[in-house]
Amino acid sequence: VLDTLLAWDGDYHRTDGAGTVDPGVAAWTAFRAEAARHALAPLGPGARLLLGETDLDPLYGAYVHAAPYHFFEATHPESYALRTLSPAGYRAAAAAAADRLRERFATDDPARWREPRRMYDIALSGAASPPPLPFFDRGTFEQFVELGP
């Protein structure tokens, strides 16, 4: 997993001929999740403050602290993990992520850990159906269609 991450250039939207993104996308997603799990384990019940519990709502409103608000944003627990894990913690998280990726993709070959490019779930706000909208990192899209003179 670590070698896959180091080889990846961080591009989330470039696809191959089959419409799949670099294996680094799946590896990064799995690694962040496992890093958070490893980093929070020693914190015990206090870790719930990082997991989007409602304890801080009086201060911040109904903000879900552990929810990514973008496909690839790191959650608070993931950010905490990336800042605080030791090298051994990074290795343990990578090993656990590799297990998850092998299970998900049914292969040990990181080159085959490719997933389709993610799509935005966009809502209809007019008379026409929106076209499929591939994910772009922090991109925006608007479409206006004139229906008459």
**Distance separating alpha carbons of residues 68 and 78, to the nearest angstrom:** 10
- Domain residue spans in the chain? 2-112
Q: What percent of the chain has pLDDT over 90?
A: 49
**Distance separating alpha carbons of residues 124 and 131, to the nearest angstrom:** 10
> 76-84 and 87-105 helices cross at what angle (nearest 10)?
130
In the predicted structure, residue 30 carries a pLDDT above the cut 60: yes
Over residues 124-149, the pLDDT tens digits come to: 666 777 777 676 655 455 555 666 66
CA 37 to chain centre: 15
Q: Assign 3-state DSSP to the chain and report helix, strand, coil percentages, each to 5.
A: 50, 5, 50
Over residues 105-119, the pLDDT tens digits come to: 999 999 999 999 887
Q: What is the pLDDT of residue 54?
A: 55
**Distance separating alpha carbons of residues 114 and 2, to the nearest angstrom:** 16
In the predicted structure, residue 93 carries a pLDDT above the cut 80: yes
- Nearest 10 degrees: CA dihedral of 74, 136, 106, 28? -30
Over residues 55-81, the pLDDT tens digits come to: 555 555 555 555 555 556 777 888 889
pTM score > 0.85 for this model? no
Please tell me which residue, 18 or 45, carries the higher pLDDT value.
18
